[in-house]
Amino acid sequence: LLEDHPFQGACIQQEIQGLGLPCHWVQDGEGCLKALEEGGVRLLICDLSLAEQDAISLLMSQPQYQHSGLPIVLLSARGAELDKVMGLELGAEDYVAKPFSLAELLARVRGALRRGAARGR
């Protein structure tokens, strides 16, 4: 989970762990890349707008993740159709506009994990 807002990050992490899934929460791009390098990441949930860099630019700057098949669920306050389409076209598995309910996010996380497992990821 890459979320730079402390309250949202803590809430999302707690809910995902409540599903019995491990969830590692980081607040910046450097922490995200380190977690990805360590391996074992089955899904990346990330806030699109980070303080230092947007999540898409961060991931696209790393060639090993551009076509890795790693499911990515983007979270964003930008809910315009163009923003959603751009995020999905750039490789996100799903796009969830803020504000969102935790129930909706958890359903989308479970769906992305199922689809990732079906692809062997």
Lowest model confidence (mean pLDDT) among 17-31, 38-52, 60-74: 60-74
Closest CA to 9 of 92, 81, 95, 98: 98
The residue length of the chain stands at 121
Q: What is the pLDDT of residue 67?
A: 59
**Predicted model pTM:** 0.87
**How many Cα atoms within 13 Å fall on the side-chain side of residue 89?**
6
Please enumerate in sequence order all residues whose Cβ is within 8 A of that of 41, keeping only pairs 6 or more positions apart, or say none: 24, 35, 70
Closest CA to 11 of 41, 47, 52, 37: 47
Asked whether the predicted pLDDT for residue 43 surpasses 70, the reply is yes
* pLDDT tens digits for range 59-115: 777 666 665 778 889 998 888 898 888 888 877 889 999 999 999 999 999 999 998
